[in-house]
Structures are given as C-alpha cells and as structure tokens.
Amino acid sequence: MDSGDALQTTEAYETEAELLAGLKDRKPSAYEALVRQEGPKLLKTARRVLRSEEDARDSVQEAFGRAFQAVENFEGRSKLSTWLYRITLNQCLMRLRTRGRQSERSIDDLMPQFDEINCRIEPLWQFDHTADELLERKDVAQLVRAAIDDLPETHRKVLLLRDIEELSTEEAAEVLEISPGAVKVRLHRARAALKKLLEPTYRQREMS
C-alpha cells in the first residue's frame, strides 16, 4: 500500500462527495483513487501500531476490504478518511489480540494508589516524558511498547491516537465515536497508568 504500489486511475475525483458517489456506484477508478489517497497514511499508522510490515499491510488490506463492502451504508457523518482510519485501527487492534494477549487488566489496577488523606502510597517520582518521546529512545522503546500493550484496549486506543498518532482531542473523539470529554478522561488515566508501569524500570535506571 505504499505510494509506489498505488494503482493508477484514469478518472479524477475533485471532491469527497464525487469520490463517495463513485465508490457507491462500484467504479474501479473510485476504489483506486481511495487507495492512492489514503493507503500510504493508513499503512504508516498500521506500522506504528503493529510494528510488523507484514501485519501492517495485511491489516490495511483488510480495512479497505471491509470499507468497500460497507460503503453503501456510509452516511457521510464523518470524513471518509476518518471512517477508514477507524476501520484500520480496529483491524490493527484485532490483530494484536490474536497474538495471544492475556486477559485485560482493569485500568483501576494500574492507577497510582492513594491513602485516606489523598497522599500517594507509592513513592512519588517525576516522570515527564510522553509515550511518543520515549518511543524515540532506542534504549527503552521496547519496554514502552510492552507497557502500552498492557493497557486496557479502551485506554490504549486513546493513548495511541493522542500521543503516538498526535491527533487532537476532537479528532480522536470522532475516530472513536466518543465525546471529547471522554477522550480527555481516558487519556489522563492511560498516561497515569503508563507512568506507573514504567516507573519501577526508570527508578532502577536512575539509581544504577
């Protein structure tokens, strides 16, 4: 699905409405235009989530297949790109689950613990790096990816969209079909849980 693999189309679609009409009319040129337009971006996303070229390509291919089958029911309440992004993300997460993930932990089990006077029980430690920043560091990237994979799916999705894909709160809300407020709450809890998962490793590194 790289741009070099994109199919050549002989018919131009200047607006999304024209492209959608072509898709619903089952025009091959519309399918080709959509793959050319969205394929490289979706593949880039799938690579970041799955970290496997083969799995990423398969997931994007499956996403386009599902989209083409369901396009008749697409009502245009969101952009075509947002709709495709959501389908691709779900395909990626489904593929992650087939890799043998353990039963999900509750996000509450991963949150910092406080006593009755609202003081944190665990040692307080400053952790100011975002997930995206940590993934750029080769020495800890594998640990960060493992910690992200350990988050419950609803919170992992938000973290991936906001901190890895760098979508805005409103964009993430549209992709996940939840309110911006829910995105903010889940992101806050996901970041706190990720910090708690990573703190023991980082504290040990700081002391060594």
CATH of the domain at 149: 1.10.10.10
pLDDT band at 37 (very low <50, low <70, confident <90, very high): very high
Please check the confidence at residue 118 and state whether its pLDDT lies above 60: no
Please check the confidence at residue 181 and state whether its pLDDT lies above 60: yes
pLDDT band at 145 (very low <50, low <70, confident <90, very high): confident
61-72 pLDDT tens trace: 999 999 999 999
Helix (H, G, I), strand (E, B) or coil at 208: coil
Let me know if residue 192 belongs to a domain.
yes
DSSP label at 78?
S
Mean of the pLDDT values across residues 156-175?
A: 89
Q: Please tell me whether residues 93 and 116 are part of one structural domain.
A: no
Give the pair of three-digit tokens for residue 56: 């990423």
Other beta carbons within 10 angstroms of residue 106's beta carbon come to: 9
Other beta carbons within 10 angstroms of residue 133's beta carbon come to: 11
Q: Please tell me whether residues 112 and 91 are part of one structural domain.
A: no
Which of 45-54, 144-153, 179-188 comes out lowest in average pLDDT?
A: 144-153
Give the pair of three-digit tokens for residue 103: 């039963």
Helix (H, G, I), strand (E, B) or coil at 77: coil
Q: Please tell me whether residues 128 and 173 are part of one structural domain.
A: yes
Q: Please tell me whether residues 59 and 119 are part of one structural domain.
A: no
Q: Please tell me whether residues 69 and 141 are part of one structural domain.
A: no
Q: What is the pLDDT of residue 182?
A: 96
Q: Please provide the size of the chain in residues.
A: 208
Let me know if residue 10 belongs to a domain.
yes
Q: Where among 97, 116, 140 does a domain terminate?
A: 97
- Our count of domains for the chain comes to 2
104 vs 208: CA distance, rounded Å: 32
- The CA-atom distances, in angstroms, between 117 and each of 105, 111, 114 are 26, 17, 8
Let me know if residue 195 belongs to a domain.
yes
Surface-to-core class of residue 184, CB atoms within 10 Å of its CB (0-12 exposed, 13-18 middle, 19+ buried): middle
Q: In this predicted model, which residue has the larger pLDDT, 38 or 138? A: 38
Q: Where among 58, 74, 97 does a domain terminate?
A: 97
Q: In this predicted model, which residue has the larger pLDDT, 7 or 11? A: 11
Are the C-beta atoms of 59 and 90 separated by less than 8 Å? Answer: no
Q: Please tell me whether residues 93 and 150 are part of one structural domain.
A: no
Q: Please tell me whether residues 139 and 50 are part of one structural domain.
A: no
Q: What is the pLDDT of residue 3?
A: 42
Q: What is the pLDDT of residue 10?
A: 46
Mean of the pLDDT values across residues 142-146?
A: 79
Q: Please tell me whether residues 130 and 156 are part of one structural domain.
A: yes
pLDDT band at 115 (very low <50, low <70, confident <90, very high): low
- Vertex 148, ends 151 and 155: CA angle to 5°? 45
Give the pair of three-digit tokens for residue 179: 């309110």
Q: Please tell me whether residues 164 and 77 are part of one structural domain.
A: no
Q: Please tell me whether residues 113 and 183 are part of one structural domain.
A: yes
Mean of the pLDDT values across residues 99-114?
A: 63
Let me know if residue 22 belongs to a domain.
yes
Let me know if residue 102 belongs to a domain.
no
Q: Please tell me whether residues 144 and 83 are part of one structural domain.
A: no
Let me know if residue 166 belongs to a domain.
yes
Q: Where among 75, 97, 119 does a domain terminate?
A: 97
| Amino acid sitting at position 130 | T
Q: What is the domain extent for residue 35?
A: 3-97
Are the C-beta atoms of 175 and 161 separated by less than 8 Å? Answer: yes
